[in-house]
Structure 1
Amino acid sequence: MRQLKYSKELYSKTALIKAAYNFTDKAYLHLDADNDYYYVSIVSKNENQEVSEKEFENEILAQSARHQIYLQTKNIRELMLARAVATSVVTSTEKNTELDTEDETEYNEDEILRDWFDSND
């Protein structure tokens, strides 16, 4: 069993958990913390294959970068989603006008039951 130590100043809890999750297929992991550090204990699931500490360090770094990008772009993503949803909203007056138009249209039963191929040959 190896125990790794990561500073809370450099890495977020979210990045640590995501990195650990990505290693659950290769190893058993235990996470712990004190006031200044996160501790990660790694035990390989396969006794014949070692889990590289360097791979885990690369993964926690990648997850930290992803988390920072997520935080930096959160506002723009929320704005884009709000604009996309707002353009698809139908106001109640528009909806009522459309429904009223449909109700005024009268359909002749012969037009509805007529075969398209018969009338368009």
Structure 2
Amino acid sequence: MSDKLTKENDNSIAFYLNKDIYNVKTIMKAAYNFIEGFYILLNYVNSDIEVVLESKEQKNSEEMKKYKGEFYNELLRQNIRYIVAKDTKNIRELVMGRALYDTCIEYEDTKEDVNENSPELKDELDILVNWFDKNEG
């Protein structure tokens, strides 16, 4: 994974991402997954975004190249998630709206419509009866 835009030394690696290809949000989300082991710097340089990964522990150049590859994989994962979220936004809004629609409707109290001898009212009145009193007596 060597390219002419990579600067590396024993403890850090810097590379450039095209901001026309990668959304800044996805770059930040990918970088967030590396903050445990690295100090991360993101910077605009012309039409690119510079990413600098500086290890919190001593690493060699080969290890840093490996982490650059892992960063690219995480960047791809986050970019796909962003695209899927964008593509399915409308359907998710419809599903959520439909799911919450019934909770927004206020139902009027219908006790006046229930006859006192109806089974619905009888069941409602038996709710607080002790089970043993009701079934063992």
TM-score scaled by structure 1?
0.78
Q: In percent, how many aligned pairs have the same letter?
A: 35
Within a 5 Å distance, the mapping from 1:40-119 to structure 2 comes to 40-48=51-59, 50-51=63-64, 52-91=67-106, 94-97=107-110, 115-119=130-134
Runs of 4+ in 1 over 4 A off after TM superposition: 111-114
* Aligned residue number for residue 34 of structure 1: 45
Q: Residues 76 and 112 (structure 1 numbering): CA distance in 2 closer, same or farther, change over 3 Å?
A: closer
Q: Say whether 1:14 aligns with 2:29.
A: no
**1:94-117 CA deviation, whole Å, 9 max, x = no partner?**
33335x579x8x9xxxx7885431
Which ranges of structure 1 fall in alignment gaps of 5 or more residues? none
By percentage of residues, which structure has more helix? 1
**1:14-34 CA deviation, whole Å, 9 max, x = no partner?**
110000000001211000013
Q: CA RMSD in A?
A: 2.8
Q: Say whether 1:120 aligns with 2:135.
A: yes
Which ranges of structure 2 fall in alignment gaps of 5 or more residues? 1-11
Give aligned pairs, total. Answer: 114
TM-score scaled by structure 2?
0.70
More deviation, 68-77/30-39: 30-39
